[in-house]
Structure formats: C-alpha cells, structure tokens
Structure 1
Amino acid sequence: MVSLALGTRKTCATHWADKSEEQCTLVPQVSSSVKMRRCGYCMVKQPMRAKHCQLCQHCVRRYDHHCPWIENCVGEKNHPLFIVYLSVQLVVLLWGGHIAWSGLYFKQSWEWLRHNIFLLISFLLIVIFTIVVLLLLISHLYLISCNTTTWEFMSYHRISYLRHSELENPFDQGVIRNLWMFFCSCHLTAWEKIYFHRNNEPV
C-alpha cells in the first residue's frame, strides 16, 4: 500500500500527529502564494504531490493514478513495482503473440479460416493489448524521466504548487538523477525541499 493513512479519519489524524515533528524538519514554510491542499477526508495538510483517492479512501504520496487492473493506487512506494508489472505483462504478451503466430499457417481457403478463426482472433487481440501496454510503459518511463506524474501531467493547471512555480517542472533534476531517485532510492523524498530549492535557483 502506498497510503499515507489508512481507513478512517481517526487513523489518518493519528498518523499525521505522530509524524508532525518529522514534518517540521522536512517541510519548509510554504510561501503564502502557494496554498497547500487540505484533505477534505483526512482533514490534514497533504505533503506536496500527495492526493486523496476517493476509490481507495486514503491519501497517497506522489500520487500517479488509480489503476483498475490492480485495484489500487499507484504512488511513491509502489510506482517502481507498477513499472515491473507492465514490463512483465509486455513480455508475456509478446511470448503469447509469438506462440499464436507460430500456430498460424496461412492458406487462402474458407476451410482454413473456419478452423483457425479463434487462433486468428486471439492473435489480433494480443497485438492490440501489446500495443496498449507498450504505449503505457513508454509514457510512464517518459514521465518518470521528467520526474512528473500522470496526475500532475493531466491536471497541471489545477495544482497550486505547479501553477505558482517559476519553473515548468520544479521537480525535474535531469534524466539520470530522476531515474536514479525513482528506481534506486529506498527512502521517501521530501518534495518540498526540491521544490523550494529549484524555485530559488537563479534563472
């Protein structure tokens, strides 16, 4: 689970009460021009890049999207595993497509089509799903290389900390560092530090 708080409002409030001292050291004071979101369900201020998922009923750090296929949100702690999931899915589809293709022996006759119609339909479906998964994997890898999320990419104009930023993407630290932080970092990132550091850099 990638949740910041699970279950009821009481659980969420208790979680944040325990984390209050840690937050004070990790999160600098927010500029008055940037209004931090307050979760209408947990009734606490969310850290930067977090979002409450109404389907999962909990807040998610570095929220990317809610995936109906895994029945869970994709966020900071399980996003790398989601990329692994897409990669494995792509390999299985390519393997299935190879097997289906090897079973097809094309002949220009209705008799051949009648006996191979299901195999042919299966192959076409595998091709469609392979294209979808491949495009999804490529789009996620692109967003990861830019250190942005699907939610931020789709809702840029509605997110206060992005609207008020002097930079187009205040979290982008270069492709190599972005990929390193995503795949190799084993601790949670204080996005506020990166945000304010990047926005205070001379242009």
Structure 2
Amino acid sequence: MAMSRGLRCCQRIFSWIPVVIISSVVLWSYYAYVFELCFLHHNNFFSAAAYLLVFHVCFVMFCWTYWKAIFTPPSTPCKKFHLSYSDKERYEMEERPDAQKQILIDIAKKLPIFTRAQSGAIRFCDRCQVIKPDRCHHCSVCETCILKMDHHCPWVNNCVGFSNYKFFLLFLSYSMLYCVFIAATVFQYFLKFWVGELSNGHAKFHVLFLLFVALMFFVSLMFLFGYHCWLVAKNRSTLEAFSAPVFQNGPDRNGFNVGIRKNLLQVFGEDRRLWFFPVFTSQGDGHYFPLRTLCEYQNPLLASEGRWAEDGGSDEDSTGERDVISAEKEQHVLSSA
C-alpha cells in the first residue's frame, strides 16, 4: 500500500517534467529576446520599443492560455449519471450479464444518451460507477471520466476535454504566433552575426538558438494545430477520429457534425469578441450534444441548464423531461432508418 502511494507520488512529480521543460524554454526565450537582443544589440530605440510591445502581447497571451490549459480542471459527469444506491446495489447483486445490461438500459432511458459501446450496450464505467454521457471517456492517468475527452496531453499535464478544449486550441495558436514573431524579428540579426557585422560574443549563441528553437516548435505546432482545426470543423475529438462513436444504428464518424459554423460555435461560443481570450464560452454543459440527425428537430444546448439543474424540479417536470428525451431518441431512430 505504501509502495503504491509512493509510486503514484513519483508519477505525479514526473508528470510535471514536460511542463517544466516548456516553461524553462519560454523563460529563456524571454531573457534572450528582451535583454540579449533588444536591450544590448538593438540600436534603434523606436524599433526596439515596437518589437518589445508586440513581443510582450504575444508572451502574455501565450502564458495566459498555457496556464488555463494546465490548471482548468477537466469536467466530470454530474450526479445525474451516477447510479443511485438502490440501482448500484441491484446492479452489483445481479450476476447475469444480460440482466445487468437491461438494468443500465432502464436507467439510461431517463438520460440524454445516444451513443453505445461497440457491443451495443450502454456505456458504463465500472471504476467511476457512472453511466457515461455521450463523448465521455475514462482517463487512466487522471483516474476519472472526462466529459468530451479529446486526449490526455503530457505537455499541459492535464486532460483536454470539454472544460478546456478552447484554452488548448488558443494555447496552440498563440504558441505559433509567439514562435513566428520571434523567428521573423530574429532572422535579420542571425544574418548579421553570420556575415560578421555584429560582435561574436555570447549573444550570438542566444540568437542562433532563438531562431532554431522558434522554427522547430513552429513546424511541430503547425501540424498539431492544423489537425485540431480539422477536428473542430468536423466536430470530432481525437478519440472519435480514431474510433467512430457508435449509435443505435451503428458507428458514425459524423454523428455530431452539425455544420462548420455550429461546430465552431460549440467550442468558442456565440460572442465572437471572446473567441481569442481564454475565458470559457463553449456551449452547453458537456453532457449533451446536438446530433446531425436531430439538429433541425431541437437545439438541446439551449435547455441543458434547466434540464440538468442540480436542484431538480417537480415530479411532473421530471416526467416531462423524460418524455422530451424519449421523443428525441425516437426521432433519432426514425431519422437514421
């Protein structure tokens, strides 16, 4: 027991190594660009001031988005998707797999769940004891189920999912902007050092490494950012791109694709003034997503807060909610047929 705790503690410590590496490279780049380049080897005051202004804007936005991607807790299923004490007891006491499957089906009738396991059964996490909402997956690193899980990223030491996917995309975009700006403004000094117009001191090595590191990170980030832009346009997560979500009528990679504009709004929200700032503006609550076959029937995101309020409503309201969910599921089956 003590050994396992020690191993978990070491694992948590080592998981921060990639974050420390990125942070160290960024801090070094700040010193090299601001002090070694702009303060010591830039002769034009106004040009240096303009460079420093733009550099600090890029630096602040990069740090802000990186911080939000790291320290925003991943969203987990609400208590509506957890088995009640009686349902859990009934499920655990039942030994027949078919009967357990039917118990989960009966419980899921009250929930907005459209996806299934590969076997066609209700997706259930034995470790978290929770019926998985659509697009929810269990992360073995975080040891919990994550809403709209995309992947576990070691470079932010966090799960990228519903709560921080926008922050992760902004982190990639501002990282690219940061690298492009450094490479573009450092290139002229690289040429001057190369032809011997500037002194051959230790600043030369800072300039050389600044250009090399900026270009190297930009190339790698460009492919990753382009891939995630494609995922957003298709309304897929990384996991869904590798394994298509399964619905009642079978696997469908485009099951959640409701058009590029609506897909974009799901991640960034309707207020375009906030798209480029790391503040949470994503639509919905992560438990329920519009389906391609239902996008013209109803927009469930608008009513998600009222439907899944923790306080709940009267029995009559709950019955009405179940009727709405059943009607949506029937419509989905009819549309898919």
Q: Bin the TM-score by the shorter chain.
A: 0.7 to 0.9
- Deviation of 1:143 (Å): 0.4
Residue-by-residue CA offset, 1:39-65 (whole Å, 9 max, x unaligned): 131122211111111111111111101
Decide whether the 8 Å contact of 2:147 with 2:286 is kept in 1. Answer: no
Provide the TM-score with structure 1 as the length reference: 0.75
Provide the TM-score with structure 2 as the length reference: 0.48
**2:213 matched to which residue of 1?**
125
Residue-by-residue CA offset, 1:115-164 (whole Å, 9 max, x unaligned): 835532431221010111122111111101100011111233xx544992
Map residues 1-203 of structure 1 onto 2, 5 A cutoff. 1-4=73-76, 16=82, 25-27=110-112, 34-104=120-190, 105=192, 106-107=194-195, 116-156=204-244, 160-161=246-247, 164-165=250-251, 167-184=252-269, 185-191=282-288, 194=291, 197=294, 200-201=334-335
Q: Distance in 2 between matches of 1:191 and 1:13?
A: 14
Q: Distance in 2 between matches of 1:174 and 1:142?
A: 12
Q: Which stretch shows the higher mean deviation, 125-134 or 190-199? A: 190-199
- Deviation of 1:202 (Å): 5.8
One-letter amino acid of the counterpart of residue 142, structure 1: W
Q: Structure 1 vs Structure 2: percent identity of aligned residues?
A: 23
Decide whether the 8 Å contact of 1:13 with 1:43 is kept in 2. Answer: no
**1:9 matched to which residue of 2?**
none
One-letter amino acid of the counterpart of residue 254, structure 2: N
Q: Distance in 1 between matches of 2:218 and 2:80?
A: 44
Greater relative contact order structure (CA < 8 Å, 6+ sep): 1
CA spacing shift, 1:174–1:192, aligned 2, 3 Å: closer
Q: Distance in 1 between matches of 2:110 and 2:81?
A: 17
Q: Distance in 1 between matches of 2:183 and 2:116?
A: 54
Q: Which stretch shows the higher mean deviation, 186-195 or 76-85? A: 186-195
SS at match of 1:169: coil
Q: Distance in 2 between matches of 1:146 and 1:75?
A: 16
One-letter amino acid of the counterpart of residue 141, structure 1: C
Residue-by-residue CA offset, 1:77-96 (whole Å, 9 max, x unaligned): 21111111112211211222
Q: Which stretch shows the higher mean deviation, 184-193 or 128-137? A: 184-193
Q: Which stretch shows the higher mean deviation, 88-97 or 172-181? A: 88-97
Structure with greater Cα Rg = 2
Decide whether the 8 Å contact of 2:139 with 2:146 is kept in 1. Answer: yes
One-letter amino acid of the counterpart of residue 16, structure 1: H
- Unpaired segments ≥5 residues, structure 2: 1-72, 88-107, 270-281, 295-331
Decide whether the 8 Å contact of 1:87 with 1:137 is kept in 2. Answer: yes
One-letter amino acid of the counterpart of residue 148, structure 1: R
Q: Distance in 2 between matches of 1:152 and 1:29?
A: 15
In the alignment of these two chains, the number of paired residues is: 190
One-letter amino acid of the counterpart of residue 142, structure 2: C
